[in-house]
Amino acid sequence: MNSVKIKMEKNKFYFIISVMFLVFSIFSYAQNTIKESPSQKIELRGITVWPQERRVEVKGIVNMTSGLIELLATTPGGKEHESIFVLDCNPALLQTSLLLIGLNPGGAGKFQGDSVTPYGDKVFLYIQWQEKDRIKRLRAEEMIWDKKYDRQMPFVSWIFTGSRFEKTAKGKNIFRANLSGVIVATFHDPDAIINNPLPERIDDTVYYANEKKLPSKGTAITMILSPVSIE
């Protein structure tokens, strides 16, 4: 069996394990966190899934309005010192939510800054918040300043790489995104659920919070994830 087939079989194995683990996560939270409404939305902890519209919404806050970043989004207690947003969700449930709207994860190398090309289904990211008497929604890339080219990050479709599992000394599989809190990475991170597709992803000195577009620190926001553009 050649190396490509081995890699494909290995990815398939990890994908199956991932699905089993994440489905188990949903059922373990079911009594307290999942409830279906007549509008066919599924509500998890901090997450709303719209299966028919193929859209996921996650609640959070603005965490940074300036400074160097490596992440677009993390969870509370995660890498908050280098993340624009903090999302109030369980990463395993978020990855499950993306599976529920038909997205398939891929892979993202072995370490931060790995030059390997990330792969997986495309996902568009939007940030929405209340501004005075109206709701404002922008592409996530508008929240990020590219210091290398002195411009906002170009519009892209991000990559649903999916986070990875790590086996402990006792043989237990741990979902890495739940440990690190890494959700969306601008600087390539195999623990992240979603990764930046651009070449600048391997440079941790390029991206900054875009203070020209971001609302004030602490503002409540909703991150919208969709496999298609919703503009």
The pLDDT tens digits for 96-114 are 999 999 999 999 889 898 9
Q: Which residues of 17-41 are buried (b: 16+ CB within 10 A; e: fewer)?
A: ebeebbeebbeebeeebbeeeeeeb
> Does residue 150 sit in helix, strand or coil?
coil
Residues 155, 21: Cα–Cα separation, whole Å: 33
pLDDT for residue 13: 52
pLDDT at 6 (0 to 100): 46
**Dihedral-angle region of residue 83 (phi above 0 means left; psi in -120 to 50 means alpha; beta otherwise):** beta
Tens-place pLDDT, residues 61-110: 999 999 999 999 999 999 999 999 999 999 999 999 999 999 999 998 89
Mean pLDDT of the chain: 87
**Tell me: the pLDDT tens digits for 27-55?**
444 334 445 444 589 999 899 999 999 99
Q: What is the pLDDT of residue 17?
A: 54
pLDDT at residue 146, as a whole number: 98
Task: Output the pTM of the full model.
Answer: 0.84
pLDDT tens-digit series, residues 125-175: 999 999 989 999 999 999 999 999 999 999 999 999 999 888 777 778 889
The two tokens of residue 206 are 């390029």
